Structure 1
Amino acid sequence: MAKRVLKPVIGMGLALMVSACAGFYGGGAVGESGPQIALNQTGFLPSSPKIAIVSGSDAKPVPWQVKDAKGKVVARGQSRYFGMNAGSGSPVHQIDFSELKTVGKDYVLVFNQIASSPFDIGPKVYDRLRYDTLAFFYHQRASVPIEAKYVGERWARPVAHNPDTATCYGPKDFRGNDWGGCPYTLDVSKGWYDAGDQGKYVVNGGIAVWTLMNWYEFSKGAADFADGKVAIPENANGINDLLDEVRFEMDFMMAMQVPDGATLKLPRGNQMKSLDKLEFSTVDASGMAHHKMHDEHWTAVPMPPHLDTEKRYLSYPSTTATLNLAASAAQCARLFKGVDGAYAAKCLTSARRAFAAAQRLPDVLAIDVLQGGGGGYGDPKATDEFYWAAAELFITTGEAEFEAFVRASPDYLASPSGDAQGGGDISWGSVQALGTLSLSIAPNIPADMRDGARQAIIKTADAYVAQTAGEGYMIPMTRPYVWGSNADFANRAMIFGYAHSFTKNQNYFDQSLHLMDYLLGRNPNMISYVSGYGLNAMQHPHHRFWAPSKDKNLPPPPPGVLAGGPQNRNAADPALKAIFANCKPQTCYIDHIDSYSTNEVAINWNAPLFWLAAYVGKGTE
């Protein structure tokens, strides 16, 4: 399909406005004709670094110009030859036009007579992005209709999975192990669909909802999302709209808790080498959290939620899911204190029950009982979840029991190392840094704990800075690109945000902007990985409702949705397999609905993008 040439609507992002502009979604799969200059296709803050990257093997500097919307040259200079960029497998030139600070729209950078995608410069270039990235969570809500008055006719859909009731699959799993089933059915309505399917997962929900709540705490009340500022049904209830969105997920997560007095058969210890011959123990599972709930089978793509007729089941409780609930519910309790006292108390009760259950059953691993229908989210180690949950409970309660648990943890004050092996990068399976981040901004904890957490985070930020200096696209990444690599970058930007808040070192803030630049177009694929932002933006995610390439009656993704991004570990899907033999780490990506390993969307990926958008949207104030 030939790429349409359109006048871009740079950084607009308003759902109602976009829905009326069919041509807003330019670009396409990697490999189509597109911009030859890699830069942030949305824009720049006036005082921010402004860097573009161009591939080229000629080591000589090349002249460049920036022109305004009228064609007037407003900046000029020469490129700097960086050399071979390992991530893309190509030599690159870097163009620095940071001296251009004049507010304006539709600038273009011209290099070798090639013009870049248009971009803006102004203090509000990220204003809409922070709201659009948050709107993703309303779009992903279960058990309620997604209403046109909040998202536009294009993205409205009827109610689905209401009520969302389920019992455990079984009594036998697909391998033949007899789990015995559950003697109850739970109503686990609400919450967010996890990704491009209609599954709901406590483990992934935990890190995603923590990230939203963390922005509320980090920003000291998230004033930009005060009641009435966000397009959701609860935006006139006197409660901060960010907390309203958080509550919708927390209601689901707390509903996944095992009722008091329930006895279940569960496999204890690591039995991953004998999955077809599990050994079970009969235990008091009170207070544990079910790992996930989803359809019995994978549905077709597309499959709008309201047309999904698959039977849905609970997976059995796991220690890691239980600790995700304990951590996020403890965090919820302190955020809602003084806002809704009854809800704060409910969250704290749930957190205490969950932590006690996890202490009683510290070794119940997540094992799939269905052959399909949902992601696994298996995790053989729970020390990081214990540390995170204890940290959140200590911050909320101040109780000595939790302080002692935190200090004794092998993950005490852990922060990503940033090394080539991953070094504990923030992810659903590696959450120790979440506890350290929370401790670093907690107001009423021992100074040595808070200061130690801050020092650990700054050390991580410095390791990332060192990586940026040696990377052609000026991003901190030296390890292999894994599934959800774009979320790795957004989470690393959060580390920079913390380091900047502690030190006021401008370089940390600038480093977070480099990562935003990468996500919005300054990458070897020259694509904005965020839908609706930039002339060449992602538009074909692996999603069962945002799927016009499969069904012309279905909508494209709304603005503000983050693609998973390049990954060079596994040619898992047929779309990626077609290019995998010849792609490099940063180019193993394709904007195709069938590429679930590079182009799916997920709540734990959009959450740090929201955090980053909210952070850079505030500038250095």
Structure 2
Amino acid sequence: MDDDARDTASQTPAYAPETGPSVRVNQHGYEPGSPKRATLVSETDDAVSWELREYSGEVVAQGATTVLGVDETAGLHVHAIDFTDVDDEGTYSIEAEGEASYSFVIREGLFAPLMVDALNYFYLARSGIEIEATIVGDEYAREPGHISRPGGDDVNQGDFAVACQPAAESEKVYGEPWTGDYTLDVLGGWYDAGDHGKYVVNGGIAVAQLLGVWERAMRAGRGAQKALADGTLHIPEHGDGVPDVLNEARWELDFLVSMMVPKGEELAGMVHHKVHDHGWTAIPILPVDDPKPRLLHRPSTAATLNLAAVAAQGARLWEAYDSVYAAGLLDAATTAWRTALEHPDLFAPVEDGRNGGGPYDDDDVTDEFYWAAAELFLTTGEAEYAEYVTTSPVHTADSFPVGGFSWDQLDGIAKIQLATVDSDFADRAAVADQVIAGAQAIAGVQRRQAFGQALPPDGYVWGSNSQILNNIVVLGAGYDLSGDEELLAAARESMDYLLGRNALGLSYITGYGAVFVKNQHSRWFAHQVDRALPRPPVGSVAGGPNANTPTWDETISGLYPDKDCAPQLAYVDDIQSWSTNEITINWNSALAAAAAFLAFPEARVKL
């Protein structure tokens, strides 16, 4: 590089993201009776005046900001604006220091449509089925992915008869050779994220949250049930009298059952950890055009227990609609439980994540055992499962980290189920107290955040937005159990962050807000690189800021080459930023569960 080039490079300004108006608001809107707050970015140390203006320009409220100082998660000096007392429906903006916020509404019913859109994501993520234009429109219609039969002339070899990893390859990742001489028909299920992989442990939490949306709706009343009934979602299974959310969950449940090792094999009854391409594919590529061979990866205890838990839950909920199907699910659940007890330490290693799919490594499955036992007890009422739950070290442990639960820490979901699902579980009240205490701790964190989110300063990990959403789920369960209005308020205000009240002034949910994400990491929602392909659908939540710099991708690293930015700024809406901008089934299931609570908050539990 010559001297002139060096001078030019040294003068290149550091990356500064577009952040919109200095007044950050929930761009989607606020419901009457909810907290209504905004965050002003301002360097002044003195309170400044603000005005809330109706669409006509009329000033309907005014006041002075509360100076909060520097928010280290945003790297910004901020003030708080509180207009909670305004409940009149209308379209508004807030003006301070001569600058107006994006417009927003105050009105009822803001979250039921978001719940439905979040759930509609899953049909578009289905593998092994045509996505029909008559259901989703021409833009999102596509040919079925991974259905071609092995030996055919098609590029894609399909999931009809997938072989196990070769022993030579598995030895490299497991430290010992493993394979099987069988193939499995694992057609169906949901594509996990931006690639074409299907992972049992991520599918487990996702399907559990969809089943949980319906289980809570049964308690919430007719309004919630009507919103999820047959005919409400964009899926082909209409007219059978089954709630659409259960039919969508079934698409994944059937796939999870298909991942079981067949009878007569060494690990019969265990569940393969994942199935995905042998080698990474590039962006963009439709599922039908995927040229890579597919492989089953070694069974794991975690995957087996995920199946045991969700199949037991599914059996309970499907009993009213298809008793034969429910019985089959329960048989799969009990088989998986027994085999997991026989193989309690078959773990998926991090090394098995370098050739076409993520590892989803987990070497602590005490929480999965607890979760599976809890769901089996709630479905069967059998004493052996209750005994396992009460004697587990998890039973009295803190299961509600303020940073949020995830696919690899599932005891929080188990305890929410034990506390909220009707049963004669002897320790139900004590578990309910744990859920309430966990929710109150999360609410305490939420109250201290300048942008209102239920996430501590060290919580900006990969998928941080899903951590907030899962914390909203805990807040919702705590409210269901206690009626504590502060928990409901914390859940409502946490959604402000996801819908635009954040350091970037950006809604992280596609189609919601004035400025929202459009280019999440995906191989087929890839409009950014191929104009013939669609953007992610309305209701898709991006992973969000990721301050864990060792996991950064090249795109975000190129923007911050010194790895130096405030946690909330560690995000870019670019299709290549897989570490900040991916979409996944378990993040959208968390969005659906959180939105379902906010749409129908009255589902009190009587202990």
Between 1:609-618 and 1:289-298, the stretch displaced more is: 609-618
Cα shift at 1:178 = 6.0
Q: Which runs of 5+ in 1 are unaligned?
A: 1-28, 264-284
Q: In the alignment, is the contact (CA less than 8 A) between 2:545 and 2:571 conserved in 1?
A: yes
Task: Give the AA of the match of 1:532.
Answer: G
- Mapping of residues 111-510 of structure 1, within 5 Å: 111-162=96-147, 164-165=159-160, 166-173=162-169, 176=172, 179-220=177-218, 222-223=224-225, 224-263=227-266, 285-367=267-349, 368-369=351-352, 371-418=354-401, 422=403, 425-446=404-425, 448-478=426-456, 479-510=458-489
1:514 equivalent to 2:509? Answer no
Task: Give the AA of the match of 1:232.
Answer: I
Question: Could you say which residue in structure 2 is the equivalent of 1:595?
Answer: 577
In structure 2, do the counterparts of structure 1 residues 324 and 562 end up closer, same or farther at CA, with 3 Å as the change threshold? same
How far does the alpha carbon of each residue in 1:192-220 deviate from its partner, in whole angstroms, 9 at most, with x for none?
Answer: 00000110000000011111111211222
**What is the rounded CA distance, in whole Å, between the counterparts of 2:432 and 2:99 in structure 1?**
45
Q: In the alignment, is the contact (CA less than 8 A) between 2:272 and 2:297 conserved in 1?
A: yes
Question: Could you say which residue in structure 1 is the equivalent of 2:94?
Answer: 109
Cα shift at 1:99 = 1.4
How far does the alpha carbon of each residue in 1:224-269 deviate from its partner, in whole angstroms, 9 at most, with x for none?
Answer: 2011111210122110101000100000000000111102xxxxxx
Q: In the alignment, is the contact (CA less than 8 A) between 2:205 and 2:586 conserved in 1?
A: yes
Cα shift at 1:504 = 1.3
- Mapping of residues 572-583 of structure 1, within 5 Å: 572-580=552-560, 581-583=563-565
Cα shift at 1:369 = 5.0
Task: Give the AA of the match of 1:450.
Answer: R
**What is the rounded CA distance, in whole Å, between the counterparts of 2:466 and 2:354 in structure 1?**
27
**What is the rounded CA distance, in whole Å, between the counterparts of 1:383 and 1:78 in structure 2?**
51
**What is the rounded CA distance, in whole Å, between the counterparts of 1:417 and 1:612 in structure 2?**
16
Task: Give the AA of the match of 2:584.
Answer: A
Between 1:289-298 and 1:406-415, the stretch displaced more is: 406-415
Task: Give the AA of the match of 2:132.
Answer: E
How far does the alpha carbon of each residue in 1:272-304 deviate from its partner, in whole angstroms, 9 at most, with x for none?
Answer: xxxxxxxxxxxxx11000000000011001111
Question: Could you say which residue in structure 2 is the equivalent of 1:96?
Answer: 82
Cα shift at 1:128 = 1.5
How far does the alpha carbon of each residue in 1:47-72 deviate from its partner, in whole angstroms, 9 at most, with x for none?
Answer: 11111111222121111112222222
**What is the rounded CA distance, in whole Å, between the counterparts of 2:422 and 2:285 in structure 1?**
46
Cα shift at 1:548 = 1.4
Q: In the alignment, is the contact (CA less than 8 A) between 2:68 and 2:78 conserved in 1?
A: yes
Task: Give the AA of the match of 1:161.
Answer: H
Q: Which runs of 5+ in 2 are unaligned?
A: 1-14, 148-157
Q: In the alignment, is the contact (CA less than 8 A) between 1:53 and 1:522 conserved in 2?
A: yes
Q: In the alignment, is the contact (CA less than 8 A) between 2:159 and 2:187 conserved in 1?
A: yes
**What is the rounded CA distance, in whole Å, between the counterparts of 2:353 and 2:100 in structure 1?**
51
Q: In the alignment, is the contact (CA less than 8 A) between 2:19 and 2:503 conserved in 1?
A: no
Q: In the alignment, is the contact (CA less than 8 A) between 1:530 and 1:563 conserved in 2?
A: yes
**What is the rounded CA distance, in whole Å, between the counterparts of 1:350 and 1:602 in structure 2?**
26
Partner-residue secondary structure (3-state), 2:393: coil
How far does the alpha carbon of each residue in 1:436-473 deviate from its partner, in whole angstroms, 9 at most, with x for none?
Answer: 11100121223x41111110011111111221232211
TM-score by length of 2: 0.90
Cα shift at 1:30 = 7.5
In structure 2, do the counterparts of structure 1 residues 370 and 596 end up closer, same or farther at CA, with 3 Å as the change threshold? closer
The alignment's C-alpha RMSD in Å is 1.7
Count of residues paired in the alignment:
566
Question: Could you say which residue in structure 1 is the equivalent of 2:595?
Answer: 613
**What is the rounded CA distance, in whole Å, between the counterparts of 1:370 and 1:408 in structure 2?**
34
Partner-residue secondary structure (3-state), 1:77: strand
Q: Percent of counterpart pairs with the same letter? A: 39
**What is the rounded CA distance, in whole Å, between the counterparts of 1:375 and 1:602 in structure 2?**
12
TM-score by length of 1: 0.88
**What is the rounded CA distance, in whole Å, between the counterparts of 1:125 and 1:35 in structure 2?**
23
Partner-residue secondary structure (3-state), 2:394: coil
In structure 2, do the counterparts of structure 1 residues 497 and 168 end up closer, same or farther at CA, with 3 Å as the change threshold? same
Residue of 57, 82, 85 corresponding to 2:68: 82
Question: Could you say which residue in structure 2 is the equivalent of 1:585?
Answer: 567
Question: Could you say which residue in structure 1 is the equivalent of 2:9?
Answer: none
Cα shift at 1:179 = 2.7
Q: In the alignment, is the contact (CA less than 8 A) between 1:414 and 1:436 conserved in 2?
A: no
Q: In the alignment, is the contact (CA less than 8 A) between 1:414 and 1:433 conserved in 2?
A: no
Q: In the alignment, is the contact (CA less than 8 A) between 2:20 and 2:504 conserved in 1?
A: no
Cα shift at 1:77 = 1.5
Question: Could you say which residue in structure 1 is the equivalent of 2:7?
Answer: none
Partner-residue secondary structure (3-state), 1:95: strand
How far does the alpha carbon of each residue in 1:353-385 deviate from its partner, in whole angstroms, 9 at most, with x for none?
Answer: 000000001011113557311110010111110
Partner-residue secondary structure (3-state), 1:110: strand
